[in-house]
Amino acid sequence: MNSEELFNESKNYMPGGVSSPVRSYKPYPFFVKEAKGSRIYDVDGNSYIDHCIAYGPMILGHSDEKVSKSVFDAIKKGTTYGAPSENEITLAKEVVNRIPCAEMVRFVNSGTEATMSAIRLARGYTGKNKIIKFEGAYHGAHDYCLVKSGSGAATLPDSLGIPEDTTKNTLSVPFNDEEAISNLILKEGEDIACIIMEVVMGNIGCIEPKKGYLEFLRKITEENNIVLIFDEVITGFRLAKGGAQEYYDVTPDIVTLGKIIGGGYPMGAFAGKKEIMEMIAPNGPVYQAGTFNGNPISVNAGIATLNQLNENFYNNLNEKGQYLRKNIKDIVEDLNLDIMPVGLGSMFQIYFNPKDVLNYEDAKNSDSGRFFEYFKELLKNGVFIPPSQFECNFISSKHSKEDLDLSLEAIEKSLKAVF
């Protein structure tokens, strides 16, 4: 069956024919046959250079041999235990050694679980109820954070099924706006448990913090007994060995991790200062549990992934990112287009917007319709990116110079086609 036939069948059994809304686009998404290295292959016989890479986790590319071997070895010993295993300690040590704020870690099964649990922990630790998030930031599909969210939720209204009482304690402010945070904390500070933030807004495209903004947030949270949570589900282990907090040299109280930490398998984690983390059960009164927490398959994949991410790895990967972004910028300038290429490290995006994008409101002014036409043209030219203006694109270590040059050719052709 081809992708169209599979999609028509899938709609009979899965809402919208997909298992996650971000995978849906008109007239129908392609269905994957396999993926290897920098490429993904569909059932229709097409090959694409993959700059979605499963929305970020495949930093080593698809089907990395060392990760695959670690998984095969683990499967032979059982798929889940319901009891601790030594490799959990190995991976926990790796997280603690790499992440500046991490003194203890709890493994969970997804980024959504990590952020939900981190917020609960911050509330338990401070004894306060309100949280601050930034407009356009996506912190998973749980009730507390589906308020002015990014990612797939950016194109939809806030979800039905969430009681007002659940979100009344969730306060949203614009990103990169010091005055908005200062005024809100002045008004509500005694009741605010935490600020949770994507250090780089990777779920609304790719927006960096202004110079000094993270330092400002660190100072104001310390002064007001507010827990600072860095959501590094995307940036964790991508920008540097220690994630965005190492990259920007600002240390939060708690970090949430996902995607790369599982090496392509279901995995998340939250980590932080010992005095905070020891509030988690069984040591403390903040409850968190999960049958698949510390699953041996995901743990092995995580260890095999992180073992390959050394300083030389990041130097090489970030050089590739710099090369790609510089050439995208040159293409945009040569074509005299009023759009904004952005990115850092191995992350990139083009805002179909003539102005700098500093927050959610700026991003919403982008031409998402034209961006989707660009996405479809890229597919025709053999490049796959997320089908939304409000997502980030990535490269992996398996993207070769030839891959990047072919991507640049496809980007130039596609931009010419839609402008």
Q: Which residues are catalytic?
A: 138, 231, 259
For the beta carbon of residue 419, count every other beta carbon within 10 angstroms.
14
Whether residue 242 contacts residue 236, with contact meaning beta carbons closer than 8 Å, is answered with: no
Residue type, 381: N
Separation of alpha carbons 169 and 133, rounded Å: 11
Q: Is 93 helix (H, G, I), strand (E, B) or coil?
A: helix
Cβ-based neighbour number of residue 39 at 10 Å: 18
d(CA 143, CA 115): 11
Q: Are 317 and 395 in contact (CB under 8 A)?
A: yes
Q: In what order do the strands lie in the sheet with 254-257?
A: 104-108, 268-272, 254-257, 227-231, 192-198, 130-134, 170-173
Residue 183, SS3 per DSSP: helix
Inter-residue long-range contacts of 305-308, CB under 8 Å, 24+ positions, other chains counted: 305/59, 305/60, 305/64, 305/67, 305/237, 305/260, 305/261, 305/262, 305/263, 305/264, 306/91, 306/94, 306/98, 306/237, 306/261, 306/263, 307/66, 307/94, 308/60, 308/64, 308/66, 308/397
Tell me the two tokens of residue 381: 């030219």
CB 90 within 8 A of CB 82: no
- If we measure between CA atoms, which residue out of 131, 126, 98 comes closest to residue 275? 126
